[in-house]
Amino acid sequence: MNNTVKRLIIFFVMIPLLTAVILFVPWHGHAAVILIITAGALACGIEMRSMLYHAAPPLPRWAVLIPPAAPLLAWAVNMNWLPPQTAVYALVTGVIWALLGSVFAGPGEIPAGFARMGSRLLLIMYP
């Protein structure tokens, strides 16, 4: 199976499946559903990293853990284990991380900085 078919399967199967699971399954206290969502987000993060690998300087390997962190963070907030402001702080920290490399870029590094900034923001906003 080539990469285009894999990406189409992820787009047309995984994203609607995740949306249906999130919207229609009572997942508030069900760890199994949250683990399925986290596994799907991890697969999407790995796919996003591989798609952006040639377009910009490669992201670190730990960057694929960002998408699965979103459902786990939402679960912790919904279970009242973390205050609701934690999700906002995590998102702001991620956006600052995405923009930080472009702020300190030199004049010759600006196009690469924009590509890096776009790939980091896409990785944060995708899940």
User: What is residue 14's predicted lDDT score, i.e. its pLDDT?
Assistant: 72
Tell me, what's the pLDDT at 103?
Answer: 66
* pLDDT tens, residue by residue, 46-99: 776 676 666 656 666 776 677 777 777 877 888 888 888 887 888 778 777 766
Digit-coded pLDDT (tens) for 31-57 = 777 777 778 777 777 776 676 666 656
Query: Confidence class of residue 123 from pLDDT cuts 50, 70 and 90?
Result: low
Confidence of residue 125 (pLDDT cuts 50, 70, 90): low
Between 88 and 24, name the one with better pLDDT: 88
Q: How far apart are CA 31 and CA 52, in angstroms?
A: 31
Residue 14 CB partners (closer than 8 Å, separation 6+): 40, 43, 44
